[in-house]
Amino acid sequence: MARPKIALIGAGQIGGTLAHLAAMKELGDVVLFDIAEGTPEGKALDIAESGPSEGFDASLKGTQDYADIAGADVCIVTAGVPRKPGMSRDDLLGINLKVMKSVGEGIRDHAPNAFVICITNPLDAMVWALQQFSGLPANKVCGMAGVLDSARFRHFLAEEFNVSMKDVTAFVLGGHGDTMVPSVRYSTVAGIPLPDLIEMGWTTQEKMDAIVQRTRDGGAEIVGLLKTGSAFYAPATSAIEMAEAYLKDQKRVLPCAAYCDGDLGVKDMYVGVPTVIGAGGIERIVNITLNKAEQEMFDTSVKAVQGLVEACKGIDPSLA
């Protein structure tokens, strides 16, 4: 059987890391697309030349031609611009919206059967626009953010409790912005909810509040340290987890930006919710119930995403 085909639209920091991970995990053959001449070709060749030492079988190709993504099983989109210190993700909206138009049309024309994972920021509005521009079914277009934000939350919790991060589960819901909602109640250490661990004296409410805030600021913390761009190792790893769930029909329960049609009370928009990812794409949204305080935070986050979607419609009337 032929190997799956993975198209990476954008061959920058995340795109290159995605290509390396996909090859090392032998998820399939990789096509790296970018408008910057030489960048995708150079990264594809460099990674291919790591194959003999690493021992993976995967072909890698760099291109500026959308025809080369034809028949892709998965497309992961990182094309666009990252933020620099002092900027918010929302400041990228105007420039990255134009990129989503050309990428959406490229996928529509050459890889209409792909499972599409958008990473470009501001994430929830960009995945919405990408779905509109591509016209692909909503269950085949989703956004990566919740897996990354939850991984950050899990990392901070594992450090605080001095336990293996393998035993820490966490969910971050809502939009991938300052208003995201790390859910303390639905996060656990080996099944024990975090509020119980506070009661047991493993940590304090103050420390938990600080971890929640650090999770919300997780992207900005890295932007502040790197100064030239944003995080790329953990974002790429998170998207690969989602791609693998689709390619191997794993039915993973992962938080991601999915199209909600009444789910968690959200109508006709993309926002971060728990989903099941398998061979059918986004096969299901897990309609968890939120308590009053969680619902208020979630509503605030949804409203922020709604504002960005309205801004997209204002910039590009074809979206209205």
Ligand X SMILES: O=C([O-])CC(=O)C(=O)O
Ligand Y SMILES: NC(=O)C1=CN([C@@H]2O[C@H](COP(=O)(O)OP(=O)(O)OC[C@H]3O[C@@H](n4cnc5c(N)ncnc54)[C@H](O)[C@@H]3O)[C@@H](O)[C@H]2O)C=CC1
Binding residues for NAD(+): 10-15, 34, 96, 119-121
Q: In the bound complex, which residue of the shown chain has the CB atom lying closest to ligand X? A: 219
Q: Tokens 């990252």 appear where?
A: 82
State yes or no: residue 146 binds ligand X (CB under 6 A).
no
Which of 163, 222, 253, 297 is close enough to bind ligand X by CB under 6 A? 222
216 binds ligand X (CB under 6 A): no
Whether 40 contacts 34, CB under 8 Å: yes
Q: Report whether 204 contacts 317 (CB < 8 A).
A: no
Write each residue from 30 to 49 as x if it is in contact with ligand Y (CB under 6 A), else as -, in one continuous string. Answer: ----xxx--x----------
User: Least Å distance between CB 54 and ligand Y?
Assistant: 22
User: For residue 282, what are the β-bridge partners?
Assistant: 277
> 59 with 29: CB under 8 angstroms?
yes
Annotate each residue in 157-196 with x if it binds ligand X (CB under 6 A) or - if it does not, as one string: -------------------x--------------------
Give the tokens for residue 11.
């061959």
> Is 230 near ligand X (CB under 6 A)?
yes
Calculate helix-pair angle for 233-247, 146-161, nearest 10 degrees.
120
Q: Least Å distance between CB 193 and ligand Y?
A: 26
Residue nearest to ligand Y (CB): 12
On the 0-12 / 13-18 / 19+ scale of CB atoms within 10 A, 46 is middle
Interaction of residue 121 with ligand X, rule CB under 6 A = yes
176 is catalytic: yes
* Coil, helix or strand at residue 75: strand
> Nearest distance from residue 4's CB to ligand X, in Å?
27
Beta strands in the chain (DSSP E): 5-9, 29-33, 60-63, 74-77, 115-118, 141-143, 168-173, 181-189, 192-193, 252-261, 267-278, 281-285
Nearest to 18 by CA among 58, 52, 53, 70: 58
Applying CB under 6 A, among 83, 140, 154, 155 the residue interacting with ligand X is 83
Residues acting as catalytic residues:
176
The contact set with ligand X (CB under 6 A) reads 82-83, 89, 121, 148, 176, 218-220, 222-223, 230-231, 235
Site residues (vs ligand Y, CB under 6 A): 9-15, 34-36, 39, 78-83, 92, 96, 99, 102-103, 119-121, 123, 144-145, 148, 176, 229-232, 235
